[in-house]
A and B are shown apart, each in its own frame.
Chain A
C-alpha cells in the first residue's frame, strides 16, 4: 500500500520529523538534567529535636503546598504576608467526598522516593489514620518538638482529636465543622412554626411544611456527607473505631433505624432535597425555599452568605443548636473541618512551620477570609465577633455555634477509609432511584464492613 511513488511527498514530512527528533533529544536531555538534585543544599542533617528524622534542611528551598480550590485564598494570603518565603502552590481535589486522592498520590511519591509536597490540606479529617502509619509514614509529628506547645494549646479543646494518634498530633485543624440546625427565621415566623429541638419535632415539622407549603425543604440528603449530618448527629453507632485495628458498625441499631425512618418519611413527604447543595439544580430549585437545613457550620459562607449559591438576605438565617432525641442530650455531628499536614520529607521545615501556623491562626486568613469557624481559639473568637458585628446571621449565632463545637459526639471515629465514599457509591444512587433507606440499611452495613476489612480492620 505504501509505494515508492509517495517518496517525494514523505520526504518533507520526514524532514520535519527529523527536526522534531533532534529537538526531542535535546528536550530529553534537559528533562533529565532538571531531575538532578538541587545544588547548594546545606546538609544539616539530624533534626532529632523535631521528634523525627528530618531530611537535610535548606532554609531557602521553596516549599510545595497542596490546597483545594477553596483554600487557595489561604495560600495567597500567606504569600502576601510573607513574600520572603518561597512557596509553590498546587491545587488538587482536597480528597473531597473520600476520593482518596491525597493518600494515593502520597503513596505514589513513596514509590518514587521523592516528589512529596511539604504541606498538604485535606478536606477530610481521617487522614492521620493512614498518613502516620506504615513503613514510610508521611506526616511529621507536630507535638514532639516541631511546633511549640503554646501554639498547639491555642486550638479549641478537642479540635486536634481527629489528627491525634496515640497521643501524637499529626495534623492541624483548619476549621471546626460541627453540625448545627440552620433555619430561615423569617420563614419560620411567616409560617408560624417553632424551631424544633428534637429529631421527632424535626420530622413532624418536615411533614407539616410539606402539606402546608409544598416545595419548601427542611434539609438535603444529596451530598456524600449525609451520614455525618444525620447519623453522627443521631448517635448512630455506624462508624465506631474501638482500637487501632478494631472497628464496628451497626446500621440496625435502634438509633440508626430511627434516623433512617425519618429520612424515608421526609423524602416521601417531599421536604428533603436529593440534590447536592452545591449543584446548580439545588440553587435553582430551592433558593428562598430552605426552611431548615441541618448541616455543618461552614454552610454559613459556602451556601447562605454566598452570592453564587443561595445568597440569603441578611438577618434571615439562624444557626440553631444541634437536635437531640426526645429525652436525651443533644450531640453534634461533624463534616470535615479541613486539616493541614506537614511532610516528614520536607527540606524546609522552618518555612512549612511558618506556613501552617499562618494559615491556621492568622487573622489575615482565618478571620478575614475563611468561610468556616476557625479551629484556633483566638481566631474563632474574632471570627464569631465579626459574624455578630456583620449581623448577617440572626438569633444567637456565636453562642449556638460555640455550643455545637463542644458537643461533637465522640462515638463516631476516624478510620482510614471514608464513610463519604461508601455513602456516595452505595446509597446515593438507589436513594435517588426511589428506594427506601430503611431497606438499604443492610446493604450499607455490608459495604461499610467490607471497606473496613480491606483496610485492615478487625470488624466486630
Chain B
C-alpha cells in the first residue's frame, strides 16, 4: 500500500499539467536544486560535525603523539603491544560469535513460529512480548540483569542453582561472560529483529505458500525452501548490523565490573580499554588508535553491506 493509491484523483491532472510545461519545468528544476541545498543544509552541517569531522580528527589523533608530531603507526603498535589489547579482542570476539549464532538461529526460528500462529491477536501479542524488552536498552537492562543473575534474588534462581551457581560472582565468572552478555543483548535486541523478519515473511504472497502446501511440502520444508530464501537478505542485514554493534561492547561489562568488585575487569572490552587509555593513562592518542580500529571495522562492514547487500538498491 502506498500513498498513490489513496490519492488517485489528484495524480491524474497533474501528470497532464506537467507534460504541458516544458520551459517552466526547467526553471522549477533549477529552483529546486537551489532550495534543496537549503533543505539538506542543517543535516549536512550535523553530518560533517558529528560524522565526518570526528572521524578525521580521530584518524589524525591516532597518527600523532601528544605534542602533535607525526609518529606514523606507532600508536597502533603501542596499542597492539598493550597486554590488555589481545584479551579484549578475544573477549569481544567470543561474545560476538556466540551472540551472532544465537541471534541468527533463534530470530529466524521465532519469526517462523510467530508467523505460523493462525490467530491474529495471539500473533500480535506474542510479537509484542518479544519486542517490549527493547524499551530497556542501555544501563537499565544491565541493572535488571544483575538481579536476574544473582541467585539470592533471581526470579530464575532455580535455573542458576541447576547450573551450580550459588553466588553472583560465580554466575559472572570470566568463562561465562560472553554467554551472559549474549543473553542480555539477545533479550533486549532480538524482539525488534523478530518483528522485522515477521514483516519480511508477510511480504511473501499467500499464493506462493499455498502452492507449496498443495505440492505436499510440510511446514519445515516450506520454511527451508520458500521462506528462508526470502528472509536471507534480512538475516544478512541483521548479522552485519549486529556484528558491528557487538564490537562496541561497553556498558554491559562496565556495570558488571562495578557490581562484582572488579572480578569482571574494567578493561574487558575494547571500548573500555579505549576509555582507560583516555582517562587513566591520559593517552588520548592511544585511545584514538583504538577508536579508529573499531571505526574501521564497522565502517568496512557497513560499506560492504551497502555495496553488496542489495537492501538499498533503490538509488
Taking beta carbons and an 8 Å cutoff, which residues of A are in contact with B? 1, 3-5, 93, 96-100, 103-104, 107-108, 134-135, 223-224, 275-276, 279-281, 420-421, 424-425, 428-429, 432-433, 446, 450, 453-456
Q: How far is the CB of A415 from chain B (nearest CB, A)?
A: 13
Known: A93-B258, A429-B174. 5 other contacts (CB 8 A): A107-B278, A425-B262, A425-B263, A432-B170, A450-B84
By a CB distance below 8 angstroms, the chain B residues around A279 are: 167
Q: How far is the CB of B174 from chain A (nearest CB, A)?
A: 5
A4 and B263: CB pair below 8 A?
A: no
Contact status of A280 and B152, CB under 8 A, knowing A4-B3, A100-B280: yes
Closest to B277 in A: A454
Using CB atoms, name the residue of chain A closest to B172: A429
Partner of A3, one of B6, B169, B279, B281: B6
**Is the pair B169, A421 in contact by a Cβ cutoff of 8 Å?**
no
Are A97 and B280 neighbours in the complex by a CB distance under 8 Å? no
Are B173 and A433 in contact, with the CB atoms below 8 A? yes
Question: When chains A and B are docked, how far (Å) is the Cα of A234 from the Cα of B216?
Answer: 79
Which chain B positions have C-beta within 8 A of A450? 83-84
Min CB gap B123→A, angstroms: 17
In angstroms, Cα B266 to Cα A421, docked, is 9
CB-CB contacts of B12-33 with A at 8 A, as 1s and 0s?
A: 0000000000000000000000
Task: Tell me how far the C-beta of B75 lies from the nearest C-beta in chain A, rounded to whole angstroms.
Answer: 14
User: Does A424 contact B279, Cβ atoms closer than 8 Å?
Assistant: no
A224 near B275: Cβ-Cβ < 8 Å: no
Binary contact readout B158-196 vs A (1 if CB under 8 angstroms, 0 otherwise): 000000001101100110000000000000000000000
Say whether B261 faces chain A, with CB atoms less than 8 Å apart.
yes
Interface presence of B282 (CB below 8 A):
yes
29 A-B pairs, CB-CB below 8 angstroms? A3-B3, A3-B6, A4-B6, A93-B258, A96-B261, A97-B261, A98-B262, A100-B266, A100-B276, A100-B280, A103-B280, A107-B282, A135-B282, A223-B261, A420-B262, A421-B266, A424-B261, A424-B262, A429-B174, A432-B169, A432-B170, A446-B83, A450-B84, A453-B83, A454-B82, A454-B83, A454-B84, A454-B281, A455-B281
- B222 on the A face (CB < 8 A): no
- A3 to B3 alpha-carbon distance, docked (Å): 6
* Cβ contact within 8 Å between A104 and B262: no
Among residues of B, the one whose C-beta sits closest to the C-beta of A278 is B261
User: Whose C-beta in chain A lies nearest to the C-beta of B7?
Assistant: A4
Do A1 and B1 contact each other (CB < 8 Å), given the known contacts A107-B279, A429-B174?
Answer: yes
The 8 Å CB contact of A275, one of B84, B167, B174, B263, is B167
Contact check, B275 vs A99: say whether CB atoms are below 8 A apart: no
Residues of A within 8 A of B1 (CB): 1, 3
Q: Is the CB of A224 within 8 A of B3?
A: no
For chain A, what secondary structure do more than half of its interface residues adopt (helix, strand, loop), or is it mixed? helix
A5 to B7, CA, bound (A): 10
Residues from chain B with Cβ under 8 Å of A420 in the complex: 262
Smallest CB-CB A-B distances: 5 pairs: A424-B262, A450-B83, A425-B265, A104-B279, A107-B279
Residue of B nearest to A427 (CB): B263
Cβ contact of B258, chosen from A99, A280, A455, cutoff 8 A: A99
Q: Of A104, A281, A453, A455, which is within 8 A of B275 by CB?
A: A104
- List of A residues within 8 angstroms of B279 by Cβ: 103-104, 107-108
The residue on B at minimum CB distance from A130 is B280
B269 shortest CB reach to chain A, Å = 13
Is residue B257 within 8 Å, beta carbon to beta carbon, of the partner chain? yes
CA distance A268 to B174 in the complex (A): 23
Residues of A within 8 A of B116 (CB): none
CA of A446 to CA of B7, assembled, Å: 73
How many Cβ-Cβ contacts under 8 Å join chain A to chain B? Answer: 77
B174 touches A107 (CB 8 A): no
* B206 on interface, CB distance cutoff 8 Å: no
Interface residues of B (CB under 8 A from A): 1-3, 6-7, 82-84, 152, 166-167, 169-170, 173-174, 199, 257-258, 261-266, 275-276, 278-282
The distance from the CB of A214 to the nearest CB of chain B, in whole angstroms, is 19
Chain A residue contacts of B261, Cβ below 8 A: 96-97, 223-224, 276, 424
CB distance from B89 to the nearest CB of A (A): 16
State in angstroms the CA–CA spacing of A337 and B62 once bound together: 40
A304 to B258, CA, bound (A): 26
Inter-chain CA distance A444–B167, complex, in Å, is: 24
| Nearest-Cβ distance from residue A433 to partner chain B, whole angstroms | 7
B165 CB to closest chain A CB (Å) equals 12
How many angstroms from the CA of A107 to the CA of B282 in the assembled complex?
Answer: 8
In the bound complex, CA of A40 to CA of B166 (Å): 58
B147 to chain A, nearest CB (A): 14
Residue from the set A4, A93, A96 with the largest chain B CB neighbour count within 10 Å:
A4
A100 to B267, CA, bound (A): 11
Q: Which residue of A lies closest to B78 (CB)?
A: A454
Measured between beta carbons, the chain A residues less than 8 angstroms from B262 are 97-99, 224, 420-421, 424-425
Check if B167 sits within 8 Å of A104, measured CB to CB. Answer: no
- In the complex, A3→B84 CA distance in Å? 52
Which of A1, A428, A455 meets B263, CB within 8 Å? Answer: A428
The docked-state distance in angstroms from the alpha carbon of A5 to that of B3 is 9
Is B173 in contact with A429, judged by CB distance below 8 angstroms? yes
Note all chain A residues with C-beta closer than 8 A to B82: 454
Q: In whole angstroms, what is the CA distance A95 to B279 when docked?
A: 14
CA distance A100 to B6 in the complex (A): 61
Contacts of B199 in A (CB 8 A): 1
Q: Which residues of A are found within 8 Å of B2, using beta-carbon distances?
A: 3
Nearest chain B CB to A374's CB is how many angstroms away? 26
Specify which chain B residues have a CB less than 8 angstroms from the CB of A223 in the assembled complex: 261
Q: Which residues of B contact A224 (CB under 8 A)?
A: 261-262
Contacts of B170 in A (CB 8 A): 432
When C-beta atoms are compared, the residue in chain B nearest to A98 turns out to be B262
**Smallest CB–CB gap between B266 and chain A, Å?**
6
B residues less than 8 Å from A100 (CB atoms)? 266, 276, 280
Q: Give the nearest-CB partner of B170 in chain A.
A: A432
Complex CA gap A4/B1 in Å reads 9
**Bound form: Cα–Cα A184–B173 in Å:** 33
For residue A428, which residues in chain B have a CB less than 8 angstroms away from its CB?
169, 263
Instruction: Specify the chain A residue showing the minimal Cβ separation from B268.
Output: A425
Q: How far is the CA of A276 from the CA of B199 in the complex (A)?
A: 50
Given A429-B263, A455-B281, does the pair A99, B257 have CB atoms closer than 8 Å? yes
Write the nearest CB–CB distance from A31 to chain B, whole angstroms. 19
- Chain A residues with CB below 8 A from B152, complex form: 280
Nearest chain-A residue to B199 (Cβ)?
A: A1
CA distance A98 to B265 in the complex (A): 10
Known interface pairs A280-B152, A420-B262, A429-B263; A107-B280 also in contact (CB < 8 Å): yes
- Interchain CA distance A421-B265 in the complex, whole Å: 8
CA distance A456 to B280 in the complex (A): 11
